[in-house]
């Protein structure tokens, strides 16, 4: 089988964390011979250096830019996926909304959420073609993997995919390196981790912090993550904040510094407007950091009672929840205990086992389809 490992290249976002977490476990399964490919103009030639033991680079590493490829696959079932995956595979897994046309191999595509469908204005320019590409894959018979039952139900309802071809298999929790030193930010702080994009609603967090900061002069807000297409709105919110001098923006941080930031946080805030899973709050819960998040999308399902959930876009409710967690030791301790337990229910081993079952189902469907047309 061949797995799209493009998300391993460059700074890793949540999709990269998914691929990095599950790929070595898939390779360790004696029943799966795993290769990896990249849909990238130049990155395919560098892919082998990013692969775990037991996973080989597949195909020719053909250097075609992703943009023209996605434009083609949104309208046609060519160029053929074997240019990247090789021809001797029975299943092709597109890990990030896109699977190349791969007949006679079975296709599996991971749909992390339906942001480009619901809110194209929240999507990056590079991902706005995902709906058309995904619809063509589904029309070819691709099976769909989602990280939550919430997204699975959305795929059935919005794309009209029969439920038997949609599989909810939860991700594991990305491992967090041991913090080898103190946090880069001293003192007490609220932390947010992730790319600056509209659906993360960081401006609401800035407003919530501004209301909270007046009564807590030692508290800071740390917004860690690379700039993105929500940068303008965030910069405007920070510019209006009365306590902007206590808002720290370190930009992208490497995994070691991110681990130190997380370990030192008084609370992790996750004010998202829509989520299909939610890695940052689970990572925080796994290391004993209390989480305040919004009650949207898959977050109630994924976080359970391990996080304090508030309505979206409500700066007052967010500020009140953070104040409670910061000031009440009993509330904090109970939240940390529940969060640690909830995070422990997710593992990459269970994810890999679930995906193996998805691959088997997709392969059986492809074989049956081939038999009917023979």
pLDDT in tens, 96-133: 999 999 999 999 999 999 999 999 888 777 788 899 99
182 belongs to a structural domain: no
Please indicate, yes or no, if residue 102 is contained in any of the structural domains. Answer: yes
Percentage of the chain with pLDDT > 70?
95
**DSSP of 222-263:** EEES---TTHHHHHHHHHH-TTGGGEEEEES--HHHHHHHHH
Please give the pLDDT value at position 41: 59
Q: What is the mean pLDDT of the chain?
A: 92
Please indicate, yes or no, whether residues 327 and 360 belong to a single structural domain of this protein. no
Q: Which whole number is the average pLDDT over 23-32?
A: 87
Crossing angle of helices 130-139/149-159, nearest 10°? 80
In a domain, 332, yes or no: yes
Do 107 and 254 have their domain in common? no
In this prediction, residue 11 has a pLDDT band, given cuts at 50, 70 and 90, of confident
Is 199 in the same domain as 159? no
pLDDT at 173: 97
259 is a domain residue: yes
Residues 95, 230: one domain?
no
Q: Do 168 and 262 fall into the same domain?
A: no
Q: How far apart are CA 181 and CA 195, in angstroms?
A: 24
pLDDT score for 179: 66
Q: Is residue 181 part of a domain?
A: no
Q: How many residues does the chain have?
A: 374
Does a structural domain hold residue 290? yes
Label residue 36 by pLDDT band (50, 70, 90): very high
Asked if residues 176 and 343 have their Cβ atoms less than 8 Å apart, the reply is no
264 & 220 share domain: yes
Please indicate, yes or no, whether residues 159 and 192 belong to a single structural domain of this protein.
Answer: no
Q: Does residue 213 sit in the same domain as residue 276?
A: yes
Q: Tell me: the pLDDT tens digits for 232-255?
A: 999 999 999 999 999 999 999 988
Domain-embedded: residue 180: no
Does one domain contain both 106 and 11?
Answer: yes
C-alpha–C-alpha distance, residues 202 and 200, integer Å:
6
Could you give the 3-state DSSP secondary structure of residue 213?
helix
Tell me the mean pLDDT in the region 309-319. 98
307 with 168, same domain? no
Task: Please check whether residue 183 lies inside any domain of the structure.
Answer: no
User: Structural domain tally of the chain?
Assistant: 2
> Which backbone phi and psi does 176 adopt, to 5 degrees?
-110, 120
151 and 7 within one domain: yes
Measured in degrees and rounded to the nearest 5, phi and psi for residue 245 equal: -70, -10
- How far apart are the C-alpha atoms of 355 and 341, rounded to whole Å? 24
As a whole number of angstroms, the distance between CA 232 and CA 154 comes to: 30
Q: Do 145 and 260 lie in a common domain? A: no
Mean pLDDT comparison of 13-27, 33-47, 61-75, highest-scoring range:
13-27
CATH number assigned to the domain comprising residue 88: 3.40.50.2000
Instruction: State if pTM tops 0.85.
Output: yes
Residue-number span of the structural domain to which 159 is assigned = 2-172+347-373
């Amino acid at each position: 089988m061949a797995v799209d490992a493009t998300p391993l290249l460059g700074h890793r976002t949540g999709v990269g964390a998914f691929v990095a977490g599950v790929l070595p476990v898939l390779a360790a399964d004696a029943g799966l011979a795993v290769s990896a490919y990249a849909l990238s103009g130049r990155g395919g030639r560098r892919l082998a250096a990013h692969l775990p033991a037991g996973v080989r680079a597949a195909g020719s590493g053909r250097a075609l830019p992703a943009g023209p490829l996605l434009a083609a696959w949104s309208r046609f079932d060519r160029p053929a996926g074997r240019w990247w995956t090789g021809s001797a595979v029975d299943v092709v897994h597109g890990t990030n909304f896109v699977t190349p046309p791969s007949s006679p191999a079975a296709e599996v595509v991971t749909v992390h959420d339906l942001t480009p469908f619901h809110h194209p204005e929240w999507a990056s320019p590079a991902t706005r073609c995902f709906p058309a590409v995904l619809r063509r894959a589904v029309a070819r018979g691709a099976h769909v993997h989602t990280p939550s039952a919430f997204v699975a139900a959305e795929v059935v309802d919005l794309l009209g995919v029969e439920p038997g071809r949609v599989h909810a298999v939860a991700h594991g929790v990305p491992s967090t390196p041991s913090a080898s030193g103190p946090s880069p930010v001293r003192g007490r702080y609220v932390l947010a981790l992730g790319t600056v994009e509209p659906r993360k609603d960081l401006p609401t967090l800035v407003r919530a912090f501004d209301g909270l900061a007046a009564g807590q002069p030692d508290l800071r807000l740390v917004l860690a993550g690379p700039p993105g297409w929500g940068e303008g709105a965030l910069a405007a919110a920070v510019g209006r904040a009365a306590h902007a001098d206590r808002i720290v923006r370190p930009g992208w941080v490497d995994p070691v510094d991110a681990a130190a930031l997380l370990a030192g946080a008084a609370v992790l805030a996750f004010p998202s407007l829509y989520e299909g899973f939610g890695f940052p709050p689970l990572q925080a819960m796994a290391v004993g950091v209390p989480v305040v998040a919004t009650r949207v999308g898959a977050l109630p399902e994924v976080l359970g009672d391990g996080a304090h959930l508030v309505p979206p876009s409500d700066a007052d409710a967010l500020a009140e929840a953070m104040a409670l967690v910061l000031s009440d030791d009993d509330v904090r301790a109970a939240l940390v205990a529940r969060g640690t337990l909830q995070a422990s229910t997710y593992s990459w081993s269970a994810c890999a086992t679930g995906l193996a079952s998805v691959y088997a189902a997709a392969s059986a469907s492809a074989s049956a389809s081939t038999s009917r047309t023979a």
